[in-house]
């Protein structure tokens, strides 16, 4: 049947099972929005306060559900406002399709009003992108975009559509979309057997889990593998929840703000089994000294990640879930009790600590974990609050900790929180922010209020840019250059003005009751939590140092 480009677009979205789009209208996408109006009972559109909020919401929706997130913006500044969100999704391998409008075909390349080469701009931060100038190619392009976004290592794909394409007509025929097949043809028997031999030979194995284990939904296979290998587990920021933070074999996060136990165990192990992690510099510290006593076995879907940051002894290329299935079928039960007990003793010796006498970020997170029983989705912005969220809330399941790991995007969490709540309406969804991050995109509280999306926004308000100040304190002679937020912004009044409920917490005794009330209200709530300006994230590894040089506040004081 003959349909307009806008009708074809909506039909293709329905083919893909898209139920929600986050976006902001404008001239180049008016035809698309007119069609969405006709299909509002099938596809929900969330109008965000800013296009960046739309891209982060699509990202949060994708990470929390495993589906493709979709965002939509007009040409020019509308499209460029998506760029930070697209780059965020690219760095963390998030399946997302960003759809932008552009000027009509005859105006392309002429510096027309609100024209920008968004495909050129986003080329380095997308898995692929398309410019559609012919309505006859629109349906196939959209289908390819969704397939590319989900196949193998996921990532964002951009589809830029000229405005006249959305009005022109072409023949459309509905297609049944086959499920995405997992990559397993790269897994060889030889690679599996070599890995099994390495595991058998090891006396002190350590399992290191990254975001790839979350993306592949390999949590059950991972748990079985851990207990068959009989090895302690550490993870990255992106890997949280793939292996339960409540499990006794879990040692905490690895790296710059990882636990002493995890950092020292990786340094002391003789085999590091790395599952879906890319050896980010924030994890490895000094890469030349990383896991210096160990052979490294890396399991990853992307061959580009092998030997990129750290030289490994052996690798298996393929979908993590499929690789672990094969290994679990073949591996014998191992017994590394002596090594496991050694690591467990370290856990007792080096617990995470914070100042218990005053209101702090860690205290609020522990109280939130206690109240929710750990059954919540936590999104974060970027900074100290992000690290505390990784350290003090125990993630039992994958897709429950949603944060910008690779790009470190301040302003990410609130949009992502809205997207996660839309995708998981029955879950408690909480965004943890610092006051610096919250300022960046706090206008999205108005979005949550407009659509009655009952998220909880917790602001750790220390009146400084906390993580940058921490570095200035430790490495820059306490020269606090432009990191003190000494203004009179009142987050409670701002939140109420945007239609949310809001509370201020100034002491520990107030926290539990107010958090419980925020959850019970089932409306958007902002909690302004006043904490000290000089609270720091401990432990820490200095930039350029080996992870075994991890130090705590007590270590620093003893050194002084």
Report the catalytic residues: 51, 113-114, 163, 467
CB 197 within 8 A of CB 33: no
The token duo for 559 is: 């050194």
**Biggest CA pair distance of the chain:** 78
- Residue count (the chain): 560
Paired strand residues for 23:
47, 72
The token duo for 44 is: 């929900």
CA dist., res. 82 & res. 36, Å (int)? 20
- Half-sphere exposure of residue 503: CA atoms within 13 angstroms, side-chain side: 21
- The CA-CA-CA angle for residues 401, 299, 190, to 5°, reads 160
Positive or negative torsion for Cα 405, 181, 220, 269: negative
Cα 455 from chain centroid (whole Å): 18
CA dist., res. 160 & res. 187, Å (int)? 36
DSSP-derived 3-state class of residue 205: strand
Cα 241 from chain centroid (whole Å): 12
- Half-sphere exposure of residue 216: CA atoms within 13 angstroms, side-chain side: 32
- Which of 404, 403, 420 has its CA nearest to residue 64? 420
Q: What is the 3-state secondary structure (H, E, C) of 126-142?
A: CCEEEEECCHHHHHHHH
Paired strand residues for 1:
none
Residue 330, C-beta contacts closer than 8 angstroms, at least 6 positions apart: 192, 196
The token duo for 234 is: 């550490």
DSSP-derived 3-state class of residue 242: coil
Residue 484: φ, ψ to 5°: -95, 125
CA dist., res. 25 & res. 40, Å (int)? 15
CB-based burial of residue 351 (10 Å sphere; 0-12 exposed, 13-18 middle, 19+ buried)? exposed
DSSP-derived 3-state class of residue 503: strand
CB 525 within 8 A of CB 500: yes
User: Read out DSSP for 42-80?
Assistant: TSEEEE-SSHHHHHHHHHHHHHHHSSPEEEEE-STHHHH
Cα 46 from chain centroid (whole Å): 21
């Amino acid at each position: 049947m003959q349909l307009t480009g806008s009708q074809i677009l909506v039909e293709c979205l329905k083919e893909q099972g898209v139920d929600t789009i986050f976006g902001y209208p404008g001239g180049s996408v008016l035809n698309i929005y007119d069609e969405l109006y006709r299909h509002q009972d099938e596809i929900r559109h969330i109008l965000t306060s800013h296009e960046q909020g739309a891209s982060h919401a699509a990202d949060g929706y994708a990470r929390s559900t495993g589906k493709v997130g979709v965002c939509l913006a007009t040409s020019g500044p509308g499209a460029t406002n998506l760029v930070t969100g697209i780059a965020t999704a690219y760095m963390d391998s998030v399946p997302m399709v960003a759809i932008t409008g552009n000027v009509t075909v005859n105006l392309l390349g002429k510096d027309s009003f609100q024209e920008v080469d968004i495909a050129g701009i986003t080329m380095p931060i997308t898995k692929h992108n398309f410019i559609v100038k012919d309505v006859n190619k629109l349906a196939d392009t959209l289908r390819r975009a969704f397939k590319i976004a989900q196949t193998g290592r996921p990532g964002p794909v951009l589809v830029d559509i000229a405005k006249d394409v959305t009005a022109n007509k072409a023949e459309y025929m509905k297609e049944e979309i086959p499920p995405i097949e997992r990559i397993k043809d790269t897994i060889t028997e030889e690679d599996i057997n070599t890995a099994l031999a390495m595991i058998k030979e090891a006396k002190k194995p350590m399992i290191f889990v990254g975001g790839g284990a979350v993306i592949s939904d390999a949590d059950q296979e991972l748990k079985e593998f851990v207990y068959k290998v009989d090895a302690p587990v550490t993870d990255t920021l992106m890997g949280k929840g793939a292996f339960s933070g409540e499990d006794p074999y879990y040692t905490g996060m690895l790296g710059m703000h990882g636990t002493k136990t995890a950092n020292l165990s990786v340094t002391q192990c003789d085999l590091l089994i790395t599952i879906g992690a890319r050896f980010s510099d924030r994890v490895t510290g000094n890469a030349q000294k990383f896991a210096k006593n160990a052979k490294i076995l890396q399991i990853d879907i992307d061959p580009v990640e092998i030997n990129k940051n750290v030289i490994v002894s052996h690798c298996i290329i393929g979908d993590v879930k499929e690789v672990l299935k094969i290994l679990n079928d073949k591996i014998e039960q191992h017994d590394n009790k002596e090594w496991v007990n050694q690591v467990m003793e370290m856990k007792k010796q080096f617990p995470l600590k914070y100042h218990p006498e005053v209101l702090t970020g860690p205290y609020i997170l522990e109280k939130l974990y206690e109240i929710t029983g750990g059954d919540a989705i936590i999104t974060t912005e970027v900074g100290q609050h992000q690290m505390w969220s990784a350290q003090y809330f125990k993630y039992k399941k994958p897709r429950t900790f949603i944060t910008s790991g690779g790009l470190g995007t301040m302003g990410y969490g609130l949009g992502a929180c809205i997207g996660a709540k839309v995708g998981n309406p029955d879950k408690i969804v909480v965004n943890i922010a610092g006051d610096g991050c919250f300022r960046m995109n706090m206008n999205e509280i108005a979005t949550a209020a407009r659509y009655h999306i009952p998220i909880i926004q917790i602001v750790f308000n220390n009146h400084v840019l906390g993580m940058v100040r921490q570095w200035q304190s430790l490495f820059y002679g306490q020269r606090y250059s432009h990191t003190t937020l000494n203004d009179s912004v009142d987050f409670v009044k701002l939140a109420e003005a945007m239609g949310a409920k809001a509370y201020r917490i100034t002491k520990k005794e107030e926290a539990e009751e107010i958090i419980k009330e925020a959850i019970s209200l089932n409306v958007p709530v902002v909690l302004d939590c006043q904490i000290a300006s000089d609270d720091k994230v401990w432990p820490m590894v200095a930039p350029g140092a080996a992870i075994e040089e991890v130090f705590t506040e007590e270590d620093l004081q003893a050194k002084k």
